[in-house]
């Protein structure tokens, strides 16, 4: 049988098949497969799996069907790749203007991962009713030419809610946002009656503890699915060589062809067109600083590997 993984809770998986849900575990040989050792958890929400049901009604996942795509981050504690969700239409980074104030460096990391994973990223900034003058322009100019789709909205006033609804309808989306940005308020506004409460689950407290992956996919209507990731506060990037980082900044791509060096890390090299555009403020200086910040963290990762 082929089912869809809708919940991951540690080593337990809920598989949905024909509108029924089966608590499942992994067949031993999947765990031994060498490529799975690279991941902190080999199965993710959104995975299509072949599974069987044993006499006690417990599901046993036999194999994972090839993924269309998957979205992952670095599991800091184990140094492995943590797959958050698979087979996505898009990732929605939900932020707010205040409480908490938006953090575009965090969005940049999600965007790099999205571009490298081949998954579209959309930025939704909530609490527009509380935006300071100039903040929407700031965000737009920060992402000029980056290819990022941006929407502003308010769950309170309703402004921009239609676009939010349109953005998520008929798709499978992964929502990433700190607690308090208004995810629950937005979803309840768009789908009244569902009474969705996105609950915060603390990821891991004491040092050395394992990160507990706890991800859940909700079927909102026939064609709309939302995957929530409570507690994703940090976002480490893997599998990007430092000198390739610029390729994942779409706004740097065209100018980089005019850099004297190729590849150019746009950091120290002479005659760097990206740096020239930053000085002219055609590329937002804050976006460039965010780039350097990721660049240095990638270089540090490399150093720690050897």
Q: Which residues bind ligand GDP (CB under 6 A)?
A: 126-127, 129-130, 154-156, 177, 179-185, 198
Contact range with Zn ion by CB under 5 A, out of 87-95, 106-114, 118-126, 255-263: 255-263
264 belongs to the binding site for Zn ion (CB under 5 A): yes
Residue listed under structure tokens 């990223």: 121
Residues 6+ apart with CB under 8 A from 145: 250, 251, 254
* Nearest to Zn ion of 108, 273 (CB atom): 273
3 state SS of 217: strand
Partner from ligand GDP, Zn ion, none binding residue 184, C-beta < 5-8 Å depending on class: ligand GDP
From CA 64, how far away is CA 125, in angstroms rounded? 35
Q: Of ligand GDP, Zn ion, none, which one does residue 180 interact with (CB within 5 to 8 Å by kind)?
A: ligand GDP
Residue 198 binds which entry of ligand GDP, Zn ion, none, with Cβ cut-offs from 5 to 8 Å by kind?
ligand GDP
Distance CA 258, CA 304 (A): 32
Instruction: Kindly tell me the number of DSSP H helices and DSSP E strands found in the chain.
Output: 8, 13
CB-based contact 139:102 (threshold 8 Å): yes
Q: What does 294 interact with, of ligand GDP, Zn ion, none (CB < 5 to 8 A by kind)? A: none
With CB under 5 to 8 Å by kind, the binding choice for 272 among Zn ion, ligand GDP, none is Zn ion
Q: Which two tokens stand for residue 5?
A: 């993984």
Which residue is closest to ligand GDP by CB? 182
The contacts of residue 221 (CB under 8 Å, 6+ apart) are 169, 191
Kindly tell me which residue out of 5, 60, 259, 278 binds Zn ion, with binding defined by CB under 5 A: 259
Footprint on residues 123-142 left by Zn ion (CB under 5 A): none
Considering only the stretches 39-47, 184-192, 256-264, 295-303, report the one whose residues sit in contact with Zn ion under the rule CB under 5 A: 256-264
List the beta bridge partners of residue 59.
24, 53
């Amino acid at each position: 049988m082929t089912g869809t993984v809708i919940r991951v809770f540690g080593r337990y998986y809920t598989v949905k098949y024909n509108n029924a849900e089966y608590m499942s575990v992994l067949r031993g040989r999947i765990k031994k497969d060498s490529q799975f050792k690279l991941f902190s958890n080999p199965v993710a929400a959104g995975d299509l799996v072949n599974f069987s049901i044993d006499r006690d009604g417990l599901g046993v996942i036999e194999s994972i069907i090839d993924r269309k795509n998957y979205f992952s981050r670095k599991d800091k504690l184990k140094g492995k790749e943590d797959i958050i969700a698979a087979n996505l239409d898009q990732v929605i980074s939900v932020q707010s203007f205040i409480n908490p104030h938006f953090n575009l460096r965090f969005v940049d990391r999600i965007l790099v991962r999205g571009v490298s994973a081949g998954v579209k990223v959309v930025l939704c900034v909530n609490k527009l009713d509380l935006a300071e003058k100039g903040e929407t322009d700031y965000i737009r100019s920060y992402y000029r030419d980056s290819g990022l789709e941006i929407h502003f909205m308010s769950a309170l006033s309703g402004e921009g809610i239609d676009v939010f609804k349109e953005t998520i309808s008929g798709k499978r989306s992964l929502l990433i946002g700190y607690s308090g940005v208004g995810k629950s308020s937005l979803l309840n506004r768009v789908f009244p009656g569902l009474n969705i409460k996105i609950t915060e689950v603390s990821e891991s407290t004491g040092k050395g503890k394992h990160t507990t992956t706890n991800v859940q996919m909700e079927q909102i209507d026939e064609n709309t699915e939302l995957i929530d990731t409570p507690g994703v506060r940090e976002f480490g990037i893997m599998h990007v060589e430092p000198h390739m980082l610029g390729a994942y900044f779409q706004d740097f791509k065209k100018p980089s062809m005019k850099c004297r060096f190729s590849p150019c890390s746009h950091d120290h090299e002479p005659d760097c067109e990206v740096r020239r555009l930053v000085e002219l403020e055609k590329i937002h200086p804050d976006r460039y600083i965010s780039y350097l910040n990721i660049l240095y963290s990638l270089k540090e990762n490399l150093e720690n590997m050897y």
